[in-house]
Amino acid sequence: MGEFELIAKFFDRGPARRAELGLGDDCALLRPQAPATTIAVTTDMLVGGRHFLEDTDPEGLGHKTLAVNLSDLAAMGASPLAFTLAIALPRADEQWLAAFARGLFAIADRFDCELIGGDTTRGPLNLCVTAFGEVPAGAALRRDRAEPGDDLWVSGELGGAALALHRIAEGRAHAAQDAARRRLERPEPRVALGIALRHLARAAIDVSDGLLGDLGHVCERSRVGAEIDWRAVPLAEGIASLPPALRAQLALGGGDDYELLFTAAPQNRDAIEALGRSQGLPLARIGRIVAGAGARVLDERGLAMRTDARSYDHFA
């Protein structure tokens, strides 16, 4: 199978629906759907042997390749519009490609995000998506907007994906329907939450590298400090029974959960709690933004907790 046959068979789904022009030309042509909107652009790459093992279920990979990008759009409050896909493949394995495309288009269709182009080459397995979203002008949720006095919130639960990785590293078998493993392989981008937070939150980020590290990015960009109340941090199932140091490492340093971490003025507390109920997604108030720099974790007595929890860094 040649390059163009491969593209036609697995990735070309006919004329674009939302874009002015999709696959097949030198560029795609993309038009915002509403007037007075800003286009949000993000790129994420998944590298075989680094972000996933070469024998990872291809359908899950198709899901995750787009999901991590949709999570970035969610963290800006952007609604998904379209994406491009650049892939390097060691060989044209039709079964692998069919499963990958199935996972990819299932989540693409669910979030109405259209594939409009890409690039295909032979090489070590590498999957790169660039996603485009749309947000009303001035309404994007940026990292640099947190203010002292803001509440600190996080959606869902933390540490599930890191727990699955921990179990894999220990060589422990776990079932495909295991919640932690699902979180690692099929993360759910919080797109509806991000959109609903446009007028409730001040700053936001998605938790991709770990709570402490990602909160650190917000602190740095906003030139503020933050305090996390350890007992308010929502722990994923299976974490609570672990030894304390491991529990803290997974929940505070574990990446890949793709929950939204956001700050908001205290007068929005009731509205945010109501939003969590209406979306069926728990939103936990886990601390506050303070003057100063850096993120601290406070224990049950309000004392600074010493933790070795570290977030993921490719070059550390």
Q: List contacts with ligand ADP (CB under 6 A).
A: 7, 11, 23-26, 85, 87, 115, 117-120
Quote the least distance from Cβ 85 to ligand ADP, whole Å: 4
Q: Which is nearer to ligand ADP, 87 or 219 (CB)?
A: 87
Query: Would you say 118 and 3 are in contact if contact means Cβ atoms under 8 Å apart?
Result: no
Closest CB to Mg ion: residue number: 119
Q: Which is nearer to ligand ADP, 130 or 263 (CB)?
A: 130
Query: Which entry of Mg ion, ligand ADP, none binds 120, CB below 5 to 8 A by partner kind?
Result: ligand ADP
Q: Which is nearer to ligand ADP, 5 or 313 (CB)?
A: 5
**What are the residues whose beta carbons fall under 8 Å from the beta carbon of 266, sequence distance 6 or more?**
149, 150, 151
Quote the least distance from Cβ 24 to ligand ADP, whole Å: 5
Q: 301 by DSSP, 3-state: which? A: coil
Footprint on this chain of Mg ion (rule: CB under 5 A): 119
Quote the least distance from Cβ 22 to ligand ADP, whole Å: 8
Q: How many CA atoms lie within 13 A of 249 on its CB side?
A: 11
Q: Which is nearer to Mg ion, 94 or 119 (CB)?
A: 119
Which residue from 214, 227, 212 is spatially nearest to 298, judged by alpha carbons? 227
Quote the least distance from Cβ 109 to ligand ADP, whole Å: 15
Q: Which two tokens stand for residue 223?
A: 């030139």
Query: Would you say 228 and 152 are in contact if contact means Cβ atoms under 8 Å apart?
Result: yes
Q: Which is nearer to ligand ADP, 13 or 285 (CB)?
A: 13
Q: Which is nearer to ligand ADP, 23 or 195 (CB)?
A: 23
Quote the least distance from Cβ 216 to ligand ADP, whole Å: 35
Query: Would you say 147 and 224 are in contact if contact means Cβ atoms under 8 Å apart?
Result: yes
Rounded to whole angstroms, the Cα distance separating 259 from 159 reads 10
Query: Which entry of Mg ion, ligand ADP, none binds 26, CB below 5 to 8 A by partner kind?
Result: ligand ADP
Query: Which entry of ligand ADP, Mg ion, none binds 25, CB below 5 to 8 A by partner kind?
Result: ligand ADP
Query: Which entry of Mg ion, ligand ADP, none binds 60, CB below 5 to 8 A by partner kind?
Result: none
Beta strand spans in the chain (E): 37-47, 79-89, 114-122, 126-136, 151-155, 203-206, 225-229, 260-264, 283-290, 294-298
Query: Which entry of ligand ADP, Mg ion, none binds 115, CB below 5 to 8 A by partner kind?
Result: ligand ADP
Quote the least distance from Cβ 47 to ligand ADP, whole Å: 16
**What are the residues whose beta carbons fall under 8 Å from the beta carbon of 186, sequence distance 6 or more?**
60, 63, 64, 67
Q: Which is nearer to Mg ion, 119 or 299 (CB)?
A: 119
Quote the least distance from Cβ 301 to ligand ADP, whole Å: 54
Query: Would you say 40 and 135 are in contact if contact means Cβ atoms under 8 Å apart?
Result: yes
Judged by phi (left if over 0) then psi (alpha if -120 to 50, else beta), residue 118 lies in left
